[in-house]
Structure 1
Amino acid sequence: MTISQVSPKNPASIITSAQQALSVARELALAFRVDAAERDRERVLPFKPLEALFASGLGGITVPKHLGGAEVSAAVVAEVIAILSEADGAIGQVPQNHFYALEVLRINGSEAQQQRLYREVLAGVHLGNALAEFSSPSAHQRSTAVLPNGGQYLLHGRKFYATGALFADRIPTAARDAEGKEQLVFVPRHQDGVNVIDDWSGFGQRTTGSGTVVFEEVSVNADDIVPFYSAFERPTTVGPFAQIMHAAIDQGIARAAFNDMLNFINTRSRPWPDSGLDRASDDPLILDRVGQLAARLQAGDALLQEAGEAVDIAQRDPNASTVAEASVQVAVVRAWTTEVSLEAGSLLFELSGTRSALREHNLDRHWRNARTHTLHDPVRWKYPVIGNYVLNGVLPPRRGTI
């Protein structure tokens, strides 16, 4: 059977260490930050920045060392995502699905699949996603099917919230096989029958390209089909690894809102008339609010590191106990960064005012981005899971949203 090969848009550099990964992320972030406000305002999709991101080698940092990658820790992956999200929250969200698919490949892919797909990723191939559907009554149910057709398979279905698919080289797609078991199909983006529609119209995260993907009788090789269902039938880190990156996106957005708020206070803001203050930065009420948020942001950094270490332990020794601990620690930081990102965006609004935020510097994008992204696996799902684990010792469910 023919094995499909996908070439990247630009050949990638190879990153060999965690330090190098963080350095490259910071360098890219400096460039991404320059036009972030304009991209959001005009909804300019970040094709070129994402090409630069995957050409930099960042897409290959989770590839195992014995297959040529840096195999960085979950904490480093989270910090890379946070750095990129601080520069541009939309760009920071796109690689989340790429790394998620690679974690499924690491856990469930055959040796031959790992060698081939990891080699593509190290060369610069970008993986998108097509998981969610509107047609099913539950987020965990799929109607998209991949069924035998002679010596190959045919993929048929419709997906939405397909973040990254518009920019990708392959689109890992959740589909049911003939037995009703869920598979992850690594579909080439430009395969006949694949139609990626730019119809995402969210009021935040506007340039993630999270629209619709339609598959119409797409021919698929068996070699591109990786088991998905079994990643949740046993203890694995697929769920907590996915979720820690979402927490990192929110932490990055919170940092951006906080830093823009500091800049506004120091350069643009004026004290209340007759306050007796020369500068707004001397206002004790502002000092109190800024101090509180600074402390909460620092706590978010610490929680992200702690959760990353728990995921690393579970990756090295996946069992019911380690995976449960990782899931709970990640749920803690996910809940925390949800609240802090919204708080940071709201405080920026409060201190800068709607006119300057909306018209001059598009500062409202931080709150819009946080409000939109934090509804992904919402915080109301997290606290009951944490409480049930702490109070009753009940292990979290095994799924990609915990």
Structure 2
Amino acid sequence: MSHSQRIIDNDIEAINAAYHVADFALEERNLRDQERILPTDVIRRLVNKGLTAIRIPKEYGGAEVSNRTLSQVIRILAKADANIGQIPQNQFGILNTILLIGSEEQKVFVFNEILAGKFLANGGPERNTKDTQTIQTTLTRANERYILNGEKFYSTGSAFADWLAIKAQHPDGYIALILVDRTTKGIDIVDDWDGFGQRTTSSGTVRLNNVEIDPFLIFDERLLAETTHFRGAYSQLIQVAIDVGIAEAAFQDLITYVKKARPIADANVAEATQEPYLIQEVGRLDVLLEASILLLEEASDVLDRLEKTKTLKDIEAAEASIAVAEAKIYAHRAALTISEKLIELSGSRSSLAKHNLDQHWRNARVHTLHDPVRWKYHALGNYYLNRKLPASHAWI
């Protein structure tokens, strides 16, 4: 990544920068998707515009934009290219975790790196473990040297990274979050992500072979249990914004391509746009999309309100998770339904590969596999029926 970054000062500048990057991302989106070309130039522009630093607190030199603005920025990017919306998601989440558990010296160092134009990606979960929280990567200590060994997958954005955030088993028996310079000897980044959607997120393998790390950049995740926070809701809010952006892109293409479709003969109309059942379907999809946008904005506002709370209570953290879970359910439905209806309502010609309209459904289907909504419904029911607070982790 280029390390020449402008500093965004406020919410309006952040939104304007997002539109600039989105316009650039849209230009070769279809080519990148079809040929699996990584969006290196787009991510460089995203970083150089200052968008990756917009949530850094003002006291550390950042704009500290609102959660409402962050969700809008992600929506704008994801509407242009869902891959671009997803790639910085982990950086925002990791910086939020460091804000919660980092020492003052660690926070100053990491935030200054980001403000200087460095890009941070995650080392990702691991394959072949019993669940996504199980970590087999190990950190060992020998003669005051700390060594990482392991293999990660789903390492979104790793090809663009200056820093990698790796979770590992600490020799003292806890899970540590470790930042490591991606140029360190023993790190191998492999762009082997071959999912049918979100093809250009660089979500492949990171191999760690006797990688020596700086002990200053070890973060103790046990500290997360010592404070009340809504880290999960914050992370999930960005996932919701990505899905809403996909839904918006699909709806925009639907309006364009339906106008080119031929009407069914039984309708006895000259244009497909005059078919009564088709008109009804478009109206129904519009309501679904608008509802998902409103729920996203409402959830963002809940987080903004709670961030002003000096001493957060468990019930307030739960409120954040519940608001975001409700938004996630609608965003999930909007992204999948509208992207599928786009093909149905636009007719047979819309299925031609040259139009690449299937990318919206492919992206929606793959991205919505994050944090399945069946567990969101369960969390909502348990909360309202039994006053059971959601678990405190990054998935709710």
TM-score range, shorter chain: over 0.9
Aligned residue-pair number? 394
1:45-74 Cα distance to aligned partner (Å, 9 max, x none): 101110110111001101110111100111
Counterpart position of 2:328: 334
Selected match of 2:308 from 307, 312, 316 = 316
Q: Tell me by how many angstroms 1:377 deviates.
A: 0.9
Query: Which residue of structure 1 lines up, in the alignment, with residue 338 of structure 2?
Result: 344
> Deviation string for 1:222-278 (max 9, x for gaps)?
111122233245421211111010011100000000000101112x21212353212
Structure 1: 5+ residue runs without aligned partners? 1-7
CA distance in structure 1 between the aligned counterparts of 2:348 and 2:367, rounded to whole angstroms:
21
The aligned amino acid for 1:310 is V
Would you say the 8 A contact 2:158–2:203 is kept in 1?
yes
Query: Residue 102 of structure 1: which of 81, 95, 109 is its match?
Result: 95
Aligned partners of 2:106 and 2:274: how far apart in 1? 60
Asked if 1:225 corresponds to 2:218, the answer is yes
Matched-pair contact (CA < 8 Å) for 2:139–2:169? yes
User: Does structure 2 retain, via aligned residues, the 8 Å contact 1:135–1:143?
Assistant: no
Work out whether 1:299 is the aligned partner of 2:291.
yes
SS at match of 1:26: helix
Q: Distance in 1 between matches of 2:281 and 2:271?
A: 16
For 2:207 and 2:265, locate their aligned partners in 1 and report how far apart those are by CA, in whole Å: 58
Give the TM-score, by structure 1 length.
0.95
- 1:151-204 per-position Cα deviation (integer Å, ceiling 9, x unaligned): 331111111111111111111111121122111111111111111111100000
* Aligned counterpart, 2:371: 377
The Cα shift of 1:355 comes to: 4.5
1:280 aligns with 2:272: yes
Aligned to 1:9: 2
What is aligned with 2:281? Answer: 289
Cα deviations by residue, 1:124-171 (Å, 9 ceiling, x for unpaired): 111100131114212111011222232331111111111111111111
Contact kept? 1:310, 1:322, Cα under 8 Å: no
What CA distance in whole angstroms lies between the structure 2 residues aligned with 1:391 and 1:401? 21
Match of 1:114 in 2: 107
Q: Do the aligned partners of 1:205 and 1:372 also contact (CA within 8 Å) in 2?
A: yes
Amino acid at match of 2:27: V
Q: Give the corresponding residue for 1:400.
A: 394
Equivalent residue number for residue 210 of structure 1: 203
Relative to the length of structure 2, the TM-score reads 0.97
Query: 2:145 maps to which residue?
Result: 152
Q: How much has 1:79 moved relative to structure 2?
A: 1.2
User: Equivalent of 2:187, from 191, 194, 201?
Assistant: 194
Q: CA RMSD in A?
A: 1.3
Bigger Cα displacement from structure 2, 243-252 vs 291-300 = 291-300
Supply the distance in 1 between the matched residues of 2:13 and 2:240 (Cα, whole angstroms).
22
Whether the aligned pair in 1 keeps the contact of 2:153 and 2:206 (CA below 8 Å) is yes
TM-superposition CA deviations, 1:92-136 (whole Å, max 9, x none): 100100101110111111111111110110111111001311142
> What one-letter code is carried by the residue in structure 2 that aligns with 1:126?
F
1:3 corresponding residue in structure 2: none
Structure 2 unmatched ranges of 5 or more: none
| Structure-1 separation of matches of 2:243 and 2:54 | 21
Q: Could you tell me whether the CA contact under 8 Å between 1:81 and 1:249 is conserved in 2? A: yes
